[in-house]
Amino acid sequence: MTGADMIVEVLAEQGVDTIFGYSGGAILPTYDAVFRYNNIHAEDGVEPMPLIVPANEQGAGFMAAGYARASGKPGVVLVTSGPGATNTVTPVRDCLADSIPIVVICGQVPTAAIGTDGFQEAPVASIMGSVAKHIFLVTEPTRLEATMRSAFEIATTGRPGPVVIDVPKDVQNWEGVFDGSSVLPIPGYRQRLKAVDDSVLDEDNCAEFFNMLSDCQRPLIYAGGGVINANASPALRALAETFHIPVVTTLMGLGAVDTTHRLSLHMLGMHGTPAANYAVDDCDLLIAIGARFDDRVAGDPPKFAPNARIAHFDIDASEINKVKSADWHHVGPVTRALEQLVSYGRRTGFAAEFAAWHEELAQLKKDYALNYDRDSKLIQPNFIIETINRLTGGEAIISTGVGQHQMWAAQYCDFREPRLWLTSGSMGTMGFGLPAAIGAQFAQPNRLVIDIDGDASIRMNLGELETVTTYDLPIKVVVLNNFGDGMVKQWQRLYFKGRLSGSDKSLHRKDFIKAAEADGFPFAVRLDDKADVIPTIEKFINFKGPAFLEVLIDPEAGVYPMVGPGQAYDEMITGDYIPNRYDITDSEGPDGSEMF
């Protein structure tokens, strides 16, 4: 068969049921192979591997990321050479930063033309090499089939990530024998993987962990996105519930525990809940699981969890002792490790009394609850998201762009399960929300999917509104419109004396309702009256097809709490409506040289 047919056969073998991509000259043989495969294998008119065509290739990359985040399976992107490939650089980097498995297959100019500046040629291997988990340039056709299988292996094993395969057009057109099983010889990778996989907790390791737990009075689990990626949520919940250990999660870890559970303190960090951040200050044992102590959590590392010993679980040895020194650590598959700990604790009859700690935390939740200006005549974004959350009960898939709306959604939404929260964490990529929601809807067609977006962020990939209606996806898109880059404006007000350089879009003329209507949304409504919030959102959520809601919110609403860059939790700004247990009047805020 042809190389293009081999690509499609391996995709089918790997269980791929959706491909996101945009065609072009250098990838046409593979697009044709997908068409022929679907035509042959369709049942009752349903294609086994539909091609979903976005407005541009960046959209395809984020759709694949949304698919992967919502399903746990690798997303697949199929694009042409040159600009087709380079348009996927941002989603590839985004997936690497958040450890999301996708496989990007790029067309390339014929092998003999590589390096000649041919039409739509780009040095994909050089460009992607620094932003992908791995990059393959297939110049030997007989290795194509093995390369495809190995790409999926690398993307999904160990610490997941994006893998890019650059396939010249002549390799796609080449004809050879499909053997059905070959993989590349990548002994170094497989040896490292085996060493990690063989790492198990023995009796002594478990005893050391439980000695630390028995010696503390205020244990706290700090769960990150690694728990979600490892499908370790059930094991984490078992550990927390069996030994009565409260849990805080990172932005990427939301849903690892049920946020409505009595042991959950919700999110910690720069915009975390006050109770979560104060708990970190007060704990004496911090159990970090699939978390990496990044700057949005440990802004001032020496002052982060200042009274705590640290136990750290991760699949990636490079994360251990990178930011904070661990008193105890384990590198290996986290699900197995947590299951071993629970089994050991039950078998040895471990019991500890943390009732006083639970009472302290319950009081922190009560005294420092999230709040906002509930009496304002203007629509507060918090109220919008509270209302959405009340109607969805923590069961909907929520995707976001990046900015204030992202943080409000993280703070005020509940997540009963993992893989319900899709957001660009480490890269902070505006424009992520809408295409990610599309990918999630294909991954979970029976779930309610809501994109909570901002007026500036959704502009980045506004063309994907048409993709929603083209495929008749019942996605709900809500745009919180504060006429500008809200988070940037908040920082400018706090740290740049209110100079709104390039961030105010109050004079821009985008009519989002007309845009949604032009793209075929049967429900497109603008909400600008506080009295109409509840009935309008009820209609929006209950609408059977694609629905678009623009909400004109208080343009000066801020996200609080907020821990400034490089600062500790005792310098957290809580705003006018949340109490603060520290006196921060003498705190020196960060200057303009600090990290955004």
Output the CA torsion 97→103→108→110 (10° steps).
140
Single out the residue of 87, 108, 117 nearest to residue 26, CA to CA: 108
Rounded to whole angstroms, the Cα distance separating 207 from 91 reads: 43
As a 3-state breakdown, the chain gives helix, strand, coil percent values, each rounded to 5, of 40, 15, 45
Q: In this structure, what token pair is assigned to residue 177? A: 């024998």
Residue 581 DSSP class = S
Q: Which of 6, 14, 20, 57 is catalytic?
A: 57
Q: Which residues pair with 479 in a beta bridge?
A: 453, 550
57: annotated active-site residue: yes
Q: Give the per-residue SS3 of 58-84.
A: HHHHHHHHHHHHHHCCCEEEEECCCHH
Chain centre to alpha carbon of residue 185? 32
Q: Which of 487, 512, 567, 571 is catalytic?
A: 487
211, 237 contact by CB (below 8 A) = no
Laid out side by side, the sheet with 328-331 consists of 264-267, 247-249, 219-223, 285-289, 309-314, 328-331
169: annotated active-site residue: yes
State the DSSP string of 164-200. Answer: EEEEEHHHHH-B----S------HHHHHHHHHHHT--
Q: Which of 121, 136, 169, 407 is catalytic?
A: 169
* Four-residue CA torsion sign, 518, 521, 523, 528: negative
Single out the residue of 199, 101, 103, 201 nearest to residue 157, CA to CA: 101
Phi, psi of 558 (to 5 degrees): -115, 165
487: annotated active-site residue: yes
Residue where the block lists tokens 């791995």: 134
120: annotated active-site residue: yes
Q: In this structure, what token pair is assigned to residue 25? A: 């000259």
Q: Which of 47, 49, 120, 208 is catalytic?
A: 120
Single out the residue of 194, 196, 242 nearest to residue 337, CA to CA: 196
Q: In this structure, what token pair is assigned to residue 334? A: 């986290």
Catalytic residues: 57, 119-120, 169, 487
